[in-house]
Amino acid sequence: MSEYIVSARKYRPLSFDTVVGQAALTTTLKNAVKSGKLAHAYLFCGPRGVGKTTCARIFAKTINCMSPTSDGEACNECESCKAFNEQRSFNIFELDAASNNSVEHIKTLMEQTRIPPQVGRYKVFIIDEVHMLSTAAFNAFLKTLEEPPAHVIFILATTEKHKILPTILSRCQIYDFERMTVANTVAHLKMVAEKEGITAEQEALEVIAEKADGGMRDALSIFDQAASFCQGNITYQKVIEDLNVLDAENYFRIVDLSLENKVPEVMVLLNDVINKGFDGGQLIAGLARHVRNVLMAKDVQTLSLLEASEQQKEKYKLQAQKADTRFLYQALRLMNDCDVNYRQSSNKRLLVELTLIEIAQITQPDDSVGSGRRPRQLKCLFQNIVRQQRQGKAAVQVAAAGGVADKKQDAKEETMVVQEQNGKQQRANYSTVNRPVLKAGSNVGFSWNKVREMSKRSKIQIVPGMLAPNDPNSKPITENNQFSQEDLELQWMSMCNRMPQKLSAIATRMKNMNPKIGEFPNVKVMVDNQVILEQMQQIQKSILNTLKLYLSNTSITLELVLTKHEEAVRILSRREQFEEMSKENPAVEKLREIMDLELA
């Protein structure tokens, strides 16, 4: 039995023409060989399995070939080419930087550069995964890399160019390798299948190419796995079974059912997928890629962005004609949210189900049964009800005034009702004496501009955010309007409630204070804390102006007094309060004894 060699090694390209998917790079390298314009250092970078090391070996063999062909390929007949093909060449050295990344390894390599080649023109040093070298090793490599001997060429290969020092990058010619396209991968797999005598369906090879994600080495490894499972006949069903890949038809069916708002069918399909051993997160990720492809298929310009076969592209185009763009955008947003929250979710299946339900209801009419979303007509309905109520209240207001207003007046009265509702709570705080009298056609509530105009007429300073709007039809502010202790306490509490958020702390303390009327109209406030007193003194002018405005008296004076400790009134407990009540009214104690009550 002959020794088995995996396809990735057996069908490794031996010339530039057999390299798949890197035509621009191989052409550049061949032209450099033909012209003899060779750099002293090259950097091949790109994703895994796209031919970086393979091209480095081919290039090393070609530049040492004694009689290269006219198109820049190696002859494979001279002693140098034969030695390379038989793996006995002393001119080509390969170093794995992942395991030889120390300064000592680099110094050993530098010593070998001093010896000229015995056969051929150049000594070529291929350093794979060069980004794994330590910083010290990079620094030891710098000088030799910049000015190597004339017979030395370095070829560096890496998958992570960003990890290489800029001083290294500046000394190399950089070649960026591309990912393998699905079409190139499928074509290469067909060639391998023909040489191996294996029959393979087109769709099966496309699944393998998509699973490889742009890497030819990965594609060949998966091909060998599928060939072993299928025993020489690679079919689509066997490949998705062997690779545990969810059939793309499931995604097409989910989108079709969602466009028809068939939520129960979508739930049954999800259950079948999960019962086959697939994860809900895997389904969402695959469905998101599918919807993205459908979105790209809606426009001819973006159709080239699809990495799929021509047959698959036609399926995407057909579904794109049925799916609205808004549906695709909304579905992608929902699936992205599900993908973000999937790992943190404690009930992952429920999250996936809710996401699919929402997707299936995107195109469902809002007023249909079971839509599960708020009807848009509800807002309009409420607007009509409110409009009717406003019109009814405006008609009552006009009738009470004893006249019928014209159309312009009706509009004013409708505005009056809206403003009255907004300022209802504010006007409820006014005392009975100062309550404004509503008249037909007058505006209830007004803008801050009117407040400022009124404050200018009354020479009162208005503090924005602290004072609430006043009624222009209320009793005018004079020097001698009378107010009671109850009016003072009411307006004091109202003022505290209206104070802005930044003064919420001092407003809370002020609510517990009890302002008193001294020698009318002097208002005296006892403050039991020096810090609170200083804070109130900073806004004392605003407090005074507010009391003047709402108590309709511009002669009010405000006195803030720090309470001495001996003057502070001790707060009585509930039992002490009950004992005081019993002393003032013995009937309370008698009632307690009759009912045999105990104070908790």
pLDDT of residue 376: 46
Least confident of 129-133, 248-252, 472-476, 558-562: 472-476
Single-letter code of the amino acid located at 66: M
Complete DSSP assignment for 432-470: TTTPPPP-TTPPSS--HHHHHHHHHHHT----TTTSPP-
**How many Cβ atoms are within 10 Å of 57's Cβ, its own excluded?**
19
Q: What is the pLDDT of residues 137-155, one digit of tens each?
A: 888 888 888 888 888 999 9
Which residue, among 88, 83, 39, 40, has the nearest Cα to 64 in the 3D structure? Answer: 83
Average pLDDT over residues 163-183: 89
Q: Largest Cα–Cα distance in the chain?
A: 129
pLDDT of residue 280: 87
pLDDT of residue 438: 38
- CA-angle at 201, arms to 196 and 207, nearest 5°: 100
Which helix H or strand E contains 216, and what residues bound it?
Answer: helix 216-230
pLDDT of residue 2: 59
pLDDT of residue 397: 53
% the chain with pLDDT above 70: 79
Residue 415 or residue 131, greater confidence: 131
**How many Cβ atoms are within 10 Å of 533's Cβ, its own excluded?**
17
pLDDT surpassing 50 at residue 381: no
pLDDT of residue 330: 92
Mean pLDDT of the chain: 79
Per-residue pLDDT band for 353 (boundaries 50, 70, 90) equals very high
The set of residues, in sequence order, having a beta carbon less than 8 Å from that of 178 and lying 6+ positions away, is: 21, 22, 46, 50
CATH, domain range 7-176: 3.40.50.300
What is the rounded distance in angstroms from the CA atom of residue 592 to the CA atom of residue 551?
43
Contact 443, 416 (CB under 8 A): yes
Per-domain boundaries in the chain:
7-176, 182-242, 248-360, 376-415, 457-562
Q: What is the pLDDT of residues 2-54, one digit of tens each?
A: 577 888 888 888 888 888 888 888 899 988 888 888 898 999 999 888 889 99
pLDDT surpassing 90 at residue 334: yes
pLDDT of residue 407: 44
pLDDT surpassing 80 at residue 182: yes
pLDDT surpassing 50 at residue 89: yes
pLDDT surpassing 90 at residue 420: no
Cis bond before residue 148 (omega within 30° of 0) = no
Q: What is the pLDDT of residues 50-61, one digit of tens each?
A: 889 999 999 999
pLDDT of residue 429: 44
Instruction: Look at the block and give the residue holding tokens 């739930």.
Output: 267
**How many Cβ atoms are within 10 Å of 497's Cβ, its own excluded?**
13
pLDDT surpassing 70 at residue 551: yes
Two tokens, residue 435: 């309550």
Contact 433, 408 (CB under 8 A): no
Per-residue pLDDT band for 410 (boundaries 50, 70, 90) equals very low
Residue 155 or residue 431, greater confidence: 155
Average pLDDT over residues 199-206: 86
pLDDT of residue 453: 52
pLDDT surpassing 50 at residue 526: yes
CATH architecture of the domain with residue range 248-360: Up-down Bundle (1.20)
Per-residue pLDDT band for 287 (boundaries 50, 70, 90) equals very high
pLDDT of residue 292: 92
Single-letter code of the amino acid located at 534: E
pLDDT of residue 405: 41
pLDDT of residue 473: 41
Q: What is the pLDDT of residues 258-282, one digit of tens each?
A: 999 999 999 999 999 888 888 888 8
pLDDT of residue 384: 58
pLDDT surpassing 50 at residue 527: yes
What is the rounded distance in angstroms from the CA atom of residue 109 to the CA atom of residue 168?
17
Provide the b/e sequence for 238-255 (b: ≥16 CB within 10 Å): bbbebeebbbbebbbebb
State the pairing for strand pair 522-527/516-517: antiparallel
What is the rounded distance in angstroms from the CA atom of residue 420 to the CA atom of residue 444?
5
pLDDT of residue 565: 55
CATH, domain range 182-242: 1.10.8.60
Residue 26 gets the label, from left (phi > 0), alpha (psi -120 to 50) or beta, of alpha
The set of residues, in sequence order, having a beta carbon less than 8 Å from that of 113 and lying 6+ positions away, is: 123, 125, 144, 148, 149, 152
User: For 233-302, where are the E strands, in sequence order?
Assistant: 233-234
